[in-house]
């Protein structure tokens, strides 16, 4: 897409009441590395990623999604996007400026159509990262984020129109209609997906592992540690990626995945997959069946941060 100004997903920022327990989970059994902390805020990196951090945790009285952050290629693109959004009537939280978070950079924040805070930045300093070793079962990078929306069609159209995302595939069923749109901002099948939910909230945050072995070793480590797995292990049809879904200490769904499909964007045509077919949700047939109880776990709590910018 010639006018696409978003390049990739940078990080997902969560606020939680039990900050220490949440930090211990992500910096411990989940396998991220804490790279900075300051007055109830923790910045956590993935060992294989050049991003300064992929998760930010903040202590707060209420659980909420603080923001989802995307990258842009240059400060000029950040400025161009801010001007485009402002002209279209999108509510900006602030004008583009220097960022004070680890890695610095230049960016701005705004509300999406559902009231989530979104950040776009460029010129963030690259973190020293490394190639993970065989059987090293910690996340390589942040893979994607899936967001719940009561009107997935409207949310999809907003991200297409304002941020240049493209539709990769859709999940639908005869009984429920459209239940998920997979959106991309680069050749990876999706960096963002919009799921049908009863309220605005996080559906899940996904982390990419080195390969199948590491994905399974990581899944096993979580199970042995007593972390509740709600669905998996299996392999989706849309995106062709593996999945193991767990709950973090505050009930957010987090995923280990690997082998997400890379598309030829010029030749790709979106599919509509029937979500009611078992081979669509899990090609392998190894995961527990998708049902209403599994789906309900990923509805999450209603987001308390809708149209309320995070304090930092």
Instruction: For residue range 71-111, list pLDDT tens digits in order.
Output: 999 999 999 999 999 999 999 999 999 999 999 999 999 99
What average pLDDT does the chain have?
97
Domains of the chain, residue spans: 6-122, 141-297
What is the pLDDT averaged over residues 214-225?
98
CB 200 within 8 A of CB 303: yes
Give Cβ neighbours of residue 147 (< 8 Å, ≥ 6 apart).
68, 114, 116, 155, 192, 193, 194, 195, 200, 201, 202, 203
Report the percentage of the chain scoring pLDDT > 90. Answer: 95
**Please, which residues bridge with residue 196 across strands?**
149
Is residue 34 packed enough to be buried (19+ CB in 10 Å), middle (13-18) or exposed (0-12)? middle
Helix spans in 105-256 (H): 152-163, 212-224
Residue indicated by tokens 């939680």: 16
pLDDT band at 2 (very low <50, low <70, confident <90, very high): low
Q: What is the pLDDT of residue 292?
A: 82
Residue indicated by tokens 């940078």: 10
CATH 1.10.287.1080 for domain 141-297: no
Report the percentage of the chain scoring pLDDT > 70. Answer: 99
Residue indicated by tokens 């990739």: 8
pLDDT band at 283 (very low <50, low <70, confident <90, very high): very high
What is the pLDDT averaged over residues 113-130?
98
pLDDT band at 1 (very low <50, low <70, confident <90, very high): very low
**Of 68, 140, 145, the residue nearest 111 (C-alpha):** 68
Strands (DSSP E) along the chain, which ranges? 6-16, 33-37, 41-45, 55-59, 64-72, 97-98, 106-111, 117-122, 141-149, 166-173, 177-184, 192-196, 201-208, 229-235, 242-247, 253-257, 271-274
Give the CB-side neighbour count of residue 98, counting CA atoms within 13 A: 4
pLDDT band at 289 (very low <50, low <70, confident <90, very high): confident
Q: What is the rounded distance in angstroms from the CA atom of residue 190 to the CA atom of residue 296?
A: 22
In whole angstroms, what separates CA 254 from the centre of its chain?
Answer: 9
- Give the global pTM: 0.97
Token pair, residue 46, equals 């993935």
Give Cβ neighbours of residue 106 (< 8 Å, ≥ 6 apart).
75, 78, 96, 97, 98, 99, 121, 122, 123
CATH hierarchy code of domain 6-122: 3.10.180.10
Tens digit of each residue's pLDDT (9 = 90 or more) over 17-68: 999 999 999 999 999 999 999 989 999 999 999 999 999 999 999 999 999 9
Q: What is the pLDDT of residue 81?
A: 98
pLDDT band at 116 (very low <50, low <70, confident <90, very high): very high
**Of 16, 19, 50, the residue nearest 37 (C-alpha):** 19
Tell me, yes or no, if the two domains 6-122 and 141-297 fold the same way: yes
Helix spans in 29-151 (H): 75-87
CB 162 within 8 A of CB 155: no
SS3 153: helix
Tens digit of each residue's pLDDT (9 = 90 or more) over 125-145: 999 999 999 999 999 999 999
């Amino acid at each position: 897409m010639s006018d696409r100004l978003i390049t990739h997903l940078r990080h997902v920022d969560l606020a939680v009441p039990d900050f220490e327990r949440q930090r211990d989970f992500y910096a411990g059994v989940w396998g991220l590395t804490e790279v900075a902390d300051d007055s109830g805020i923790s910045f956590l990196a993935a060992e294989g990623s050049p991003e300064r951090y992929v998760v930010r945790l903040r202590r707060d009285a209420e659980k909420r999604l603080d923001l989802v952050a995307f990258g842009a290629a240059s400060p000029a693109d950040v400025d161009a996007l801010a001007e485009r959004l402002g002209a279209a009537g999108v509510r900006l939280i602030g004008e583009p400026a220097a960022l004070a978070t680890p890695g610095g950079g230049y960016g701005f924040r705004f509300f999406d159509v559902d009231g989530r805070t979104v950040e776009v930045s460029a010129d963030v300093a690259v973190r020293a990262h490394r190639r993970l070793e065989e059987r090293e079962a910690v996340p390589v990078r942040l893979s994607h984020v899936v967001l719940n929306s009561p009107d997935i069609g409207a949310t999809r159209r907003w991200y297409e129109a304002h941020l240049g995302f493209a539709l990769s595939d859709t999940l639908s069923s005869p009984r429920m209609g459209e239940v998920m749109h997979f959106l991309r901002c680069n050749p990876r099948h999706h960096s963002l997906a919009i799921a049908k939910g009863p309220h605005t909230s996080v559906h899940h945050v996904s982390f990419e592992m080195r390969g199948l072995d590491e994905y399974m070793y990581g899944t096993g480590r979580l199970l042995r540690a007593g972390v509740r797995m709600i669905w998996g292990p299996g392999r989706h049809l849309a995106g062709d990626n593996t999945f193991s879904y767990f709950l973090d200490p505050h009930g957010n769904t987090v995923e280990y995945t690997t082998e997400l499909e890379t598309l030829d964007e010029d030749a790709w045509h979106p599919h509509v997959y029937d979500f009611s077919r078992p081979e669509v949700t899990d090609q392998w047939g190894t995961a527990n069946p998708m049902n209403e109880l599994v789906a309900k776990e990923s509805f999450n709590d209603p987001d308390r941060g809708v149209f309320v910018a995070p304090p930092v």
